[in-house]
Amino acid sequence: MDMSIMKLFTKTMPFFITRIFIYGIFGLAALIFLGIMVAIGFLVVKMFGESSGAFLIVMLIAFGVVYGALRFVERYVLYMIKIGHVSVIVELLRTGKIPEGKGQVAYGKEQVTTNFGTANVAFVLDSMVHAAVRQIQRWIMRVGDMFSFIPGSKNVIGIINAIMSIALNYIDEAIVSYIFVRKSEGRDETVWKSASDGVVLYAQSWKGILKTSVGSVIFIYLFNIVVFLIFAFPLMFLSKMVTSNTPDAGFLFGALALIGAYVLTTLLKRALIDPLVTIAMIRSYQINIRSLEPAMDLQQKLLGVSSKFKNLVNKSKQEENSAV
């Protein structure tokens, strides 16, 4: 069922609300922490003067702590929700509905546990798929370099490579969606086998997915620029007001305002835009691989060009042998 991106967005709204809630709590905590670090930095400026590198060290520590905490939240809190969202998208694309009597988030978590056992298995598999696709994309672009003798083709290949590199952050979830499709079809195969076949199918159909990738990357860039400016101007104005009596600290607090704008933009992007682009990539992937079977000759070629893909295939064989 070819459900539109916006319809998938509205039908899976509970996942967006959950993400907004979690990122909102994190953002509030991050701003409070940054506020405390600002106060410490202000004292440092008062005590040692603007020329002291201590303020810069305090700000670097603050940024490092916030970034590290964000990675922790995404790895141990949000990952199950993200993959659960993938399972619901697949079900909606297949049947147009999900089983009644269950909340979407609860249903998605249940699907992850049923198909992967634990979120940790899904995370490890996702990481392996991501690494394999990265190597395969580089190989695809190197093949494209053969046409570099055509005027302007090198620039085009470079642009495509940059677009696919950014889109890679969402393609691994699209490939993971293939695992849910195979399970829903009742296929008796390991998730590692489904994932390796999903990678091959991506290599077969990447040209068809490119249009979605281009649109997604343009959308991401425009969103980041516009939202960053929306946050940056009022924060810069606030920092100017705060430092009106201490002009020497103006530059330092202005820099902090830009960091704050970047953090808020990143949180809003990850809460709203990342799952929306994931929907677009999954939909495009599923449409483009429809009726395709993994090409064994291409699989053999990929084994020779990607060590990460070979690891994925070997893991699949190990799991199949242990199940016998």
- Whether the Cβ atoms of residue 132 and residue 126 lie closer than 8 Å to each other: no
Read off the DSSP letter of residue 4: -
Read off the DSSP letter of residue 185: T
Answer with the residue of higher pLDDT: 163 or 54: 163
Measured CA to CA, the distance from residue 74 to residue 79 in angstroms comes to: 6
Confidence band of 7 (pLDDT split at 50, 70, 90): very high
Confidence band of 249 (pLDDT split at 50, 70, 90): low
pLDDT value for 215: 92
Position 260, amino acid? G
pLDDT value for 289: 93
pLDDT value for 164: 81
- Whether the Cβ atoms of residue 221 and residue 265 lie closer than 8 Å to each other: no
Q: Which of 109, 135, 137 is nearest to 122 (CA)?
A: 109
Residues 6+ apart with CB under 8 A from 272: 16, 19, 20
194-228 pLDDT, tens per residue?
999 999 999 999 888 888 998 999 999 999 999 99
Q: Indicate whether 101 pLDDT > 70.
A: no
Instruction: Compute the average pLDDT of residues 229-257.
Output: 77
113-167 pLDDT, tens per residue?
888 887 788 888 999 999 999 998 888 777 655 555 556 666 777 777 778 888 8
Q: Which of 306, 284, 299, 304 is nearest to 131 (CA)?
A: 306
Q: Is the pTM of this model over 0.95?
A: no
Q: Indicate whether 49 pLDDT > 80.
A: no
Tell me the H-state helices in 77-189.
Answer: 79-95, 104-116, 119-144, 153-184
Interaxial angle between packed helices 119-144 and 296-305, expressed in degrees from 0 to 180 and rounded to the nearest 10: 90
Confidence band of 106 (pLDDT split at 50, 70, 90): confident
pLDDT value for 185: 82
Angle at the Cα of 46 (from 44 to 49), degrees rounded to 5? 80
pLDDT value for 17: 93
User: What is the token pair recorded at 170?
Assistant: 């969402």
Instruction: Compute the average pLDDT of residues 271-288.
Output: 94
